[in-house]
């Protein structure tokens, strides 16, 4: 049996043992990131994060869109965006509670005009993440020991593509994705009696594959915009290696993973000072496979989000306070995982955001605050209260000018 699948399956055995024995549990970040490949990451931009994550149909020169390349607006300028995220999670069970904090970059993007309405797009973004610590005291007759696993890893995607405007009312974007990632699990058994030898095991898995994505943005009558996106699935290949304090280094084992396809639709309505937007997104985690085996407990992920943005003036020569954008929104997302009643684990969030232009609207700082929960007690094993702060710095300038 593949050690990777064996060990990740044992996470659940360890967890249920710890609950049934009333032992101490310690959970870092999200327990749900221990399932499958980890927690799916949904991120368009910091601007969209303040609008309930909605942004498939938002055309914006100062906020590069990580989901719909067709929504990027060059205006003849080379634009660069750097994104970061900070997250604080309070994990609660019926018996215990703990908190964790984590800050990290969540992508880099560049948009470069080539000719006319054709532009080159490149970027990197997270797809799934896994980070957790589970520890339990266990008893076997007179023998007492602690079993623990600490894990981290995930998948990311490098995008290389372009966008163009075949007609005045439509933009199209397409990209190839190089998907890559690694996972590391450190298992440790610590005995309370010195007569027994403590053991450690490290499992490292690496995988990679190719994919593609398509997007379009259509300008409709009466100031409406419609966005559509599709991302093809990917057959990932890789290997897993086990290093044990008892048996030493084992031979690598080849692994295969089917990463699921996804699609989404967004609709926006622009007024003079306000923008209303809403998205629906679906990722087919029922098609996920590990070693060609499906997970019958997985459901498709779906997400509904929307928000409102208010900007008093879009004139770059207006008073600065009038050019600041204020945002509010919310979203509901159903994760692929289920609770003990086979109901899906869900996220419920409210969001707030602000956009601060600089250099006469040549750039913008976007900041978003998201507050919500993942799972509900007592049906879910965990309830996670989440505080998430997202930010981006986007700036553009003309790198190339035609000579006369």
Q: From CA 16, how far away is CA 114, in angstroms rounded?
A: 57
Q: Is the pLDDT of residue 17 over 70?
A: no
Q: From CA 349, how far away is CA 21, in angstroms rounded?
A: 34
What average pLDDT does this structure show over 254-268? 97
pLDDT range class, residue 160, cuts 50, 70, 90: very high
What average pLDDT does this structure show over 369-376? 95
Residue 275 confidence (pLDDT): 97
The mean pLDDT value of the chain amounts to 88
Residue 19 confidence (pLDDT): 41
pLDDT digits (tens, 9 = 90+) for 309-333: 999 998 888 899 999 999 999 999 9
Q: From CA 399, how far away is CA 34, in angstroms rounded?
A: 45
What average pLDDT does this structure show over 225-230? 98
Q: Is there a contact between 357 and 367 (Cβ–Cβ < 8 Å)?
A: no
Q: Is the pLDDT of residue 14 over 60?
A: no
The answer to whether the predicted template modeling score (pTM) of the entire model surpasses 0.75 is yes
Residue 401 confidence (pLDDT): 53
Q: Is the pLDDT of residue 276 over 70?
A: yes
Q: Is the pLDDT of residue 13 over 60?
A: no
Shortest CA distance to 281 belongs to which of 300, 301, 264, 306? 264
Give the domain ranges of the chain.
3-396
Q: What is the DSSP string of 174-216?
A: EEEEEEEEEEEEEEEEEESSTTS--EEEEEEEEEEEEEEEEEE
Q: Is the pLDDT of residue 139 over 90?
A: no
What average pLDDT does this structure show over 36-56? 95
Q: Minimum mean pLDDT among 3-12, 168-177, 279-288: which range?
A: 3-12
**Superfamily per CATH, domain 3-396:** Outer membrane protein transport protein (OMPP1/FadL/TodX) (2.40.160.60)
What average pLDDT does this structure show over 45-58? 96
Q: Is the pLDDT of residue 403 over 90?
A: no
Q: Minimum mean pLDDT among 136-140, 198-202, 388-392: which range?
A: 136-140
Q: Is the pLDDT of residue 37 over 50?
A: yes
């Amino acid at each position: 049996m593949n050690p990777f699948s064996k060990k990740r399956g044992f996470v659940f055995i360890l967890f249920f043992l710890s609950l049934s024995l009333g032992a101490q549990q310690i959970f870092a970040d999200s327990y749900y990131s221990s399932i499958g490949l980890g927690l799916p990451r949904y991120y368009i931009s910091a601007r969209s994060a303040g609008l309930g994550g909605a942004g498939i149909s938002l055309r914006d020169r100062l906020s590069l869109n990580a989901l719909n390349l067709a929504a990027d607006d060059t205006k003849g300028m080379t634009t660069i965006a750097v994104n970061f995220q900070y997250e604080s999670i309070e994990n609660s069970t019926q018996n215990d509670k703990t908190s964790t904090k984590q800050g990290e970059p969540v992508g880099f993007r560049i948009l470069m005009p080539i000719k006319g309405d054709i532009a080159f797009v490149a970027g990197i973004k997270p797809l799934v993440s896994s980070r957790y610590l589970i520890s339990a005291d266990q008893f076997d007759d007179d023998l007492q020991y602690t079993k623990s696993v600490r894990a981290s890893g995930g998948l990311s995607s490098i995008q290389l593509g372009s966008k163009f405007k075949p007609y005045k009312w439509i933009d199209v974007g397409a990209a190839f994705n190089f998907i890559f990632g690694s996972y590391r699990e450190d298992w440790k058994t610590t005995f309370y009696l010195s007569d027994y030898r403590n053991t450690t095991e490290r499992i490292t898995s690496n995988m990679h594959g190719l994919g593609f994505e398509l997007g379009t943005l259509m300008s409709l009558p009466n100031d409406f915009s419609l966005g559509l996106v599709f991302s093809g699935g990917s057959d990932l290949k890789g290997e897993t290696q086990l290093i044990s304090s008892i048996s030493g280094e084992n031979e690598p084992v080849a692994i295969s993973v089917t990463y699921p396809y996804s699609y989404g639709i967004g609709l926006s309505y622009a007024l003079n000072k306000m923008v209303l937007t809403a998205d629906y997104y679906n990722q087919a985690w029922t098609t996920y496979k590990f070693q060609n085996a499906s997970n019958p407990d997985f459901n498709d992920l779906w997400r509904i989000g929307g928000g409102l943005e208010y900007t008093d003036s879009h004139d770059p020569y207006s008073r600065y306070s009038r050019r600041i954008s204020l945002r509010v929104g919310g979203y509901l997302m159903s994760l692929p995982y289920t609770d003990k009643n086979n109901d899906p684990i869900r996220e419920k969030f409210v969001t707030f955001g602000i956009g601060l232009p600089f250099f006469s609207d040549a750039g913008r700082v976007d900041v978003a605050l998201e507050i919500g929960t993942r799972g509900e007690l007592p049906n879910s094993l965990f309830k996670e209260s989440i505080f998430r702060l997202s930010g981006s710095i986007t700036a553009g300038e003309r790198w190339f000018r035609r000579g006369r």
